[in-house]
Structure 1
Amino acid sequence: MFVIAGTDERPVCDAQVSFLCARSRLAVFDACFIQDLLRLRLALLNVILIITFVSKTNVQFSVASHVMAALGVNHGEPVRSTDLAASVNADPSFVRRVISKLAKAGLVTTTRGKNGACSLARPPARITLLDIYRASQAPEAFALHCYPAAENCEVSRNIKVCMETVLREAQSGFEQRLARQTLADVVAAIKTVS
């Protein structure tokens, strides 16, 4: 319940909390309504944090691949991080963090300052997608959940043991496929589609 009352009116009951509005009017809020609003705000903040965490951990490899492909298309020419961020259509600071990981892995070289830019550290044919995947520090593509087992459930007690080998083999196959694909292949495919 949300009621705006004149200054001469009193709150309906003791369970209500009153606030003085900017125009000297008394706003009366139901205490439960305020608690619900606070709970809703907290829930929304939790959702935002979860979405932020999930999106950042799940897009590391794709953003790193995008940056490397842009550098591969422009091979031999330095590209500014702001131009790469515009290509990815992502926050420049996030893209700079990705570039930093790629530089630490020896895949790109960077220069700082007003005319700072980055470029590939070696030819696109000598960079595999596995190199980029590992440099991006992305989480494994296939992973088990970390929830504790419900001891009263047969599936819950045994699913992790049963799925561990399957997911390990799937991750291995995924990485083997990335190792066979080079950045030059990606650049060629981009140019073909254009």
Structure 2
Amino acid sequence: MSQKNVQFSLAAHIVAVLGYHHGSSVTTAVLADSVRADATFVRRSVAKLARAGVITTTRGQHGACRLARPPTEVTLLEVYRASEAPPPFALHEYAEEPLCSVSANFKPSMCELLLDTTSRFESGLAELTVADLVGRIRVIETTYGANSINASRRALGTNNVPQTL
């Protein structure tokens, strides 16, 4: 059985909001409204992003967040690593059957493939910035209209858009 892990997606959503409103401070309440998640859950992600130096925060009654650097200088790899999400790929656990060549050799073979794939995934994220993500959001917003739940469905060509938290 697989489980969804949304840590990276949540962190990317947070920095996208901050990038969209670059130059302004955004409260965790506003972030929680955008993500449609409990503010406590959002604050945990905000804390990770702040520890990693991706965002800055101010505390108190008027506390808020902002990107630590311009959106063009924050890579999605930084956001991914800051989110502390588990690796994107994992092997299933099993007791090897020594008389079966596949069973006995699957783990080391698959590990090599997954290490290579993970490396390419991270290289791709290193090439993308928060500005790139915000740019895509703005294109969809311009093309399909702001604040439309159907915009993402039309942009993806599907009615099966993953649900938020």
TM-score range, shorter chain: 0.7 to 0.9
Q: What is the RMSD computed on CA atoms of the aligned residues?
A: 1.6
Considering fraction of residues, name the structure with more strand. Answer: 1
SS at match of 1:67: helix
Q: In 2, Cα distance between the equivalents of 1:98 and 1:112?
A: 15
- Which amino acid in structure 1 is aligned with residue 41 of structure 2? F
Q: Which has the larger radius of gyration?
A: 1
Task: Please give the alpha-carbon distance, in whole angstroms, between the structure 2 residues aligned to 1:127 and 1:148.
Answer: 42
With normalisation by structure 1, the TM-score equals 0.68
1:120 aligns with 2:67: yes
Structure 2: gaps of 5 or more residues: 142-165
Secondary structure of the corresponding residue to residue 56 of structure 2: strand
Deviation of 1:151 (Å): 4.1
Aligned to 1:168: 115
Quote the residue 2:147 is aligned against. none
The letter for the 1-side match of 2:18 is: L
Question: Which of 106, 120, 134 is the equivalent residue of 1:187?
Answer: 134
Measure how far apart 1:147 and its partner are. 3.1
1:94 corresponds to: 41
Residue 149 of structure 1 deviates from its aligned partner by: 2.4
Q: Secondary structure at the match of 1:118?
A: strand
Following TM superposition, by how much is the alpha carbon of 1:158 offset from its aligned partner in structure 2, in angstroms?
1.7
Q: Partners of 2:79 and 2:61 in 1: how far apart?
A: 27
- For 1:118, the aligned partner's letter is C
Give the TM-score of the pair, scaled to structure 2. Answer: 0.80
Q: Distance in 2 between matches of 1:140 and 1:124?
A: 25
Q: What is residue 161 of structure 2 aligned with on the other side?
A: none
1:129 is the counterpart of 2:76: yes
Could you tell me which residue of structure 2 aligns to residue 31 of structure 1?
none
Q: Residue 155 of structure 1: CA displacement?
A: 2.5
Which residues of structure 1 form unaligned runs of 5+? 1-49
Match of 2:149 in 1: none
Deviations 1:45-103 (A, max 9, x none): xxxxx98xx34xx1110000000000000111111111101111112111110000000
Could you say which residue in structure 2 is the equivalent of 1:77? 24
Larger RCO: 1 or 2 (CA < 8 Å, sep 6+): 2
Q: Does the alignment pair 1:143 with 2:93?
A: no
- What is the distance in 2 between the residues matched to 1:85 and 1:112? 16
Runs of 4+ in structure 1 off by over 4 angstroms are none
Aligned to 1:122, the other structure's residue is in SS state: coil
